[in-house]
Amino acid sequence: MIEFTPHSMPKETGWIEVIAGCMFSGKTEELIRRLRRAQIAKQNVKIFKPKIDLRFSHTSIVSHSEQSLPSLLVTDAKEILSLSNDAKVVGIDEAQFFSQELVSICNQLANDGKRVIVAGLDQDYQGIPFEPMPQLLAIAEYITKTLAICVACGNPADKTQRKTTSAERVVVGAADIYEARCRKCHYIPKEN
């Protein structure tokens, strides 16, 4: 886990932190923890999430452990630029639901001197890298991979198991249709 202290933070520049992992691995919780600390330090923090994710709340990022912070809903990654003008720290949740354009937007924000913290699913339910996360991981200065616990065997888990047979890449849900699984226990559900 990266512990940014006032002495270890990069100076006079922005940067990108990516928090990547499967569902139930604590990504949003870690994002909230970092953003809270920035708020305590009285830094101007702006938080965004894509409009597709309407779980739990329309105006907050919420972790599965029910921590939350107010956020702005955007349909297009471009909106983040204009809404972050006065921000020192920009948090983005559910990055996998944004278009590829999020990559250049994050670069622009960081080049502009902002600390950008992005959380997202790094693989889809089939274990395939979930764009734009691979590209975000490549351009980030700091990467944290969060692991969950496999509900089948107790191993560290980095795969999201879908419990329905839908073949859509995006099916919004939580513990009702997803669980964390390790490499050994994860499988791709077959349509009947």
**Nearer CB in complex with Zn ion: 2/153:** 153
Q: Find, among 65, 14, 64, 9, the residue nearest to 37 by Cα.
A: 9
**Nearer CB in complex with Zn ion: 153/171:** 153
In whole angstroms, how close is the CB of 173 to Zn ion at the nearest point? 21
Q: Find, among 38, 30, 51, 50, the residue nearest to 4 by Cα.
A: 38
**Nearer CB in complex with Zn ion: 153/170:** 153
**Contact status: 80 vs Zn ion (CB under 5 A):** no
In whole angstroms, how close is the CB of 22 to Zn ion at the nearest point? 12
66 annotated active-site: no
In whole angstroms, how close is the CB of 155 to Zn ion at the nearest point? 4
**Nearer CB in complex with Zn ion: 153/174:** 153
Q: Do residues 91 and 48 lie in contact, with contact meaning Cβ atoms separated by under 8 Å? A: yes
Looking up tokens 């809903």, which residue turns up? 73
Question: Which pair of structure tokens corresponds to residue 187?
Answer: 């499988």
Of 94, 101, 131, 141, the catalytic one is 94
In whole angstroms, how close is the CB of 158 to Zn ion at the nearest point? 11
**In 3-state terms, what secondary structure has residue 119?**
strand
Strands 148-149 and 15-21 come out as unpaired
x/- track of binding to Zn ion for residues 9-28 (CB under 5 A): --------------------
Size of the site for Zn ion (CB under 5 A): 7
CB atoms within 10 A of CB 55: 12
CB atoms within 10 A of CB 173: 13
Identify which range of 93-101, 102-110, 137-145, 148-156 contacts Zn ion by CB under 5 A.
148-156
x/- track of binding to Zn ion for residues 149-188 (CB under 5 A): -x-xx-x--------------------------x-xx---
Query: In 31-158, where do the E strands start and end?
Result: 45-50, 60-62, 68-70, 72-74, 89-92, 115-121, 142-146, 148-149, 156-157
Catalytic positions: 94
Which parts of this chain interact with Zn ion (CB under 5 A)?
150, 152-153, 155, 182, 184-185
